[in-house]
Structure formats: structure tokens, C-alpha cells
């Protein structure tokens, strides 16, 4: 990445493409000769931050692209590799989310059911765990039904 002021504007193309890009052949004050596309007309004295995209020395004007000068500072503080989640991490996160949703549904239904049966708090939690287990596995566990519910309609669950 280099920053330099425009010393001479050799040529500017007609607007090109849907974004009306103007291709400039510029001589910079550090003696770089660059070919760069910009949406605005560049003039002598403007400062540009750029990096070469073409092979140096292959053409008189080397292809370059504009670069945000703050991007390099941002990259120093942004550890992109450390923040990326692996596929296994995403799957674990999804599984955790599904479990939390299943627990919420189980607790909601347990409180709705137990409200009419006047269950204790422990029976509500046990009933919620039964609902959650059934949501996750699809299997009922009749040996875990709370005593106060064993003779009710819940026993069909």
C-alpha cells in the first residue's frame, strides 16, 4: 500500500460501465505510473492511497486499485482468524439453540398443564423435562411421570 500525490494526469477515459468508472493514467509524486479506475475525475495535487494489482514493469502504467488507508490499522486490531467459527462450532451453537427452544416449549407447556393440576414447582420442572425429552428424542419416558400426574390425562403422554 502506497500513498502519494498526483503529479500529472496523463489521460482519462470516457465513463465506463454502469458505475461510470473513469480510468486514469497518472504519474505520482513518487514517480509511480499507475492506471486506476475512479468514479470522480482526479486532478493534480489529489492524494491517493493505492496498491498495485498488475505486474510491475509489464506496461508503462501499472494497474492499481484504491485502498482505504484506515483498513490496514483496522486489520491490525481485528483478529479475523480468531473470530471465525468452525463448522463444528456452528453446529454446536445450533444444537444449543435447539435445546434452549425445546426447554422453553417444555416449560411453557408444563406450566400450562400444571396450572390446572396444581403441581408443585418440582413437579412443573419434572414435567417440563419430560416435555423437553420428548421434543428432543421423540420417546416418552413413563417412569418419570410425577406422582400427582400419573393418574391424569398426562399418563397418556
Contact status, residue 32 vs residue 80, Cβ threshold 8 Å: no
Q: Residue 109 contacts by C-beta under 8 Å, 6 or more apart in sequence? A: 128, 131
- If one counts every other C-beta atom within 10 angstroms of the C-beta of residue 104, the result is 12
Tens-digit pLDDT profile for residues 107-143: 888 888 887 777 888 888 888 888 888 887 777 665 5
Tell me the backbone φ, ψ of residue 55, rounded to 5 degrees: -75, 130
pLDDT band at 10 (very low <50, low <70, confident <90, very high): very high
The pLDDT tens digits for 93-111 are 888 888 888 888 888 888 8
Alpha-carbon distance of 60 to 76, in angstroms, equals 34
How far is residue 33's CA from residue 58's CA, in Å, rounded to a whole number?
Answer: 12
pLDDT attached to residue 4: 94
Phi then psi for residue 29, to 5 deg, are -70, -10
Q: What is the DSSP letter of 40?
A: S
User: What local confidence, expressed as pLDDT, does residue 83 receive?
Assistant: 65
For the stretch 18-30, pLDDT in tens is 999 999 999 999 9
The proportion of the chain whose per-residue pLDDT surpasses 90, expressed as a percent, equals: 38
Give the residue from 145, 143, 108, 105 showing the smallest Cα distance to 126. Answer: 145
Of 1 and 4, the structure prediction assigns the larger pLDDT to 4
pTM: 0.47
Amino acid at each position: 500500500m502506497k500513498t502519494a500525490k498526483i503529479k500529472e494526469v496523463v489521460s482519462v477515459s470516457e465513463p465506463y460501465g454502469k458505475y461510470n468508472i473513469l480510468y486514469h493514467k497518472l504519474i505520482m509524486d513518487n514517480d509511480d505510473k499507475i492506471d486506476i479506475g475512479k468514479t470522480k475525475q482526479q486532478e493534480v495535487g489529489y492524494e491517493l492511497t493505492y496498491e498495485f494489482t498488475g505486474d510491475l514493469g509489464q506496461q508503462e502504467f501499472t494497474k492499481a486499485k484504491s485502498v482505504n488507508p484506515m483498513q490496514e490499522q483496522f486489520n491490525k486490531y481485528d483478529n479475523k482468524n480468531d473470530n471465525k467459527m468452525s463448522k463444528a462450532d456452528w453446529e454446536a451453537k445450533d444444537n444449543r439453540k435447539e435445546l434452549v427452544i425445546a426447554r422453553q416449549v417444555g416449560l411453557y407447556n408444563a406450566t400450562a398443564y400444571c396450572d390446572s393440576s396444581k403441581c408443585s414447582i418440582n413437579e412443573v420442572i419434572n414435567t417440563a423435562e419430560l416435555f423437553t425429552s420428548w421434543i428432543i428424542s421423540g420417546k416418552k419416558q413413563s417412569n418419570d411421570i410425577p406422582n400427582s400426574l400419573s393418574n391424569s390425562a398426562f399418563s397418556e403422554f
